Amino acid sequence: MDDEKYYKQAKKAIAAKRGFRILAFIFGLLTPVLIFINLWTSPGYLWFLWSLMGFSIALAIVYFFAYIKPKYDRKDELEIQNETERLRRRDREILDLEPRRRDELDDRMDLREVRKDYDERDFV
């Protein structure tokens, strides 16, 4: 990956995390206010639970996209890189297999022939 792509990914991740923090801050401020208004105006029906539930779902979704999903994306990218390297190595081995085998066989045959022809009387 080039630097510009890393920069764009980092900028996107920072924006998502900042969005989550802002939403969490608003949730923290707004929830007590809604609870107070609900208990002050109509204590018999707790309608603030509906807004609390909706806000909690929204907060969970934003958290997922800001913190959890990028981790899985990096894992997927790493797996893709590993698999690509494995396939490249496999293709290189397949393409180079025949010449390598021939060379190995030639080397073995040469050594065997030398060993066969070797006689101590030739060196004395």
Q: State the chain's mean pLDDT as an integer.
A: 80
Look at residues 58, 61, 62, 56 and name the one whose alpha carbon lies nearest to residue 18.
Answer: 62
* Number of domains into which the chain is organized: 1
More confident residue, 101 or 57: 57
pLDDT tens column, 65-111:
998 888 777 777 888 888 888 888 877 776 665 555 555 555 555 54
More confident of the two residues 119 and 3: 3
pLDDT for the residue numbered 79: 84
Give SS3 for 124. Answer: coil
The first and second tokens of residue 18, run together, are 């900042």
Distance of CA 20 to the CA centre of its chain: 21
Model pTM?
Answer: 0.57
- Residue 117 is predicted with a pLDDT of 56
Distances (CA, A) of 39 to 2, 36, 47, 56, 77: 56, 5, 9, 20, 50
- The CA distance from 57 to 27, in Å, is 11
pLDDT of residue 57: 96
Domain that holds residue 81: 3-122
Buried b (16+ CB within 10 A) or exposed e, 10-37: eeeeeebbeebeebeeeeeeeeeebeee
Report how far residue 64's alpha carbon sits from residue 44's, in angstroms, rounded to the nearest whole number: 35
Stronger pLDDT, 94 or 114, i.e. the higher one: 94
